[in-house]
């Protein structure tokens, strides 16, 4: 049974934090689906990942390509990912189902701590997922480094 990790972004934006977490998941040997809600936002994120940090490259693709199943990281807006991921990273309030958490190695929910609506949505996800029996951790970067603040 997997776990869901909530990442409360307050100091670094998504385009900085996501590559860091993707790299960690790749080091674990996992295929990853990055799930968003809006195709245009996923296109923007795709561009940011291609530009990437100077010290590395994250091989990835956007859903709808001929090689989706082979992608180590697949950016998608739907509930299904053709690359058979071990990890889902949900951004921009993308939905996560308790059954997914149970079936995967890890689900990460990244949310903007400077957006009150995003914080409220993440709180609702925490309550729904932990209420369904999912193991969960809440991580904050408020102090300047990532610290686990809660666990259920």
| β-pairing verdict for 106-112 and 147-151 | unpaired
Choose among 109, 139, 114: nearest CA to 149: 139
- Angstrom distances, CA of residue 114 to CA of 5, 9, 118: 19, 8, 8
pTM as predicted: 0.94
| 70 to 41, 52, 63, 112, 147: CA distances (angstroms) | 23, 20, 11, 30, 33
The whole-chain average pLDDT of the chain stands at 94
Token output for 46: 């795709």
pLDDT of the residue at 55: 58
Is the confidence at residue 142, as pLDDT, over 90? Answer: no
Domains (range + CATH), the chain: 13-65+76-151 (3.40.50.10110)
Please state, for a pLDDT cut of 90, what percent of the chain lies above it. Answer: 87
Q: What integer pLDDT is reported at residue 53 of this predicted model?
A: 58
């Amino acid at each position: 049974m997997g776990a869901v990790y909530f990442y409360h972004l307050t100091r670094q934006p998504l385009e900085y934090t996501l590559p860091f977490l993707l790299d960690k998941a790749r080091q674990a040997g996992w295929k990853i689906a990055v799930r968003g809600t809006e195709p245009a936002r996923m296109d923007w994120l795709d561009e940011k990942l291609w530009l990437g940090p100077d010290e590395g490259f994250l091989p990835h693709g956007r859903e709808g390509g001929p090689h989706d199943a082979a992608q180590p990281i697949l950016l998608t807006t739907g509930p299904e990912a053709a690359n058979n991921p071990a990890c889902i990273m949900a951004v921009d309030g993308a939905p996560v189902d308790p059954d997914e958490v149970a079936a995967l190695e890890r689900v990460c929910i990244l949310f903007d701590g400077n957006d009150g609506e995003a914080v409220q949505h993440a709180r609702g996800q925490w309550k729904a997922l932990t209420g369904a029996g999912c193991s969960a951790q809440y991580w904050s970067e408020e102090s300047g480094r990532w610290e686990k603040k809660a666990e259920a």
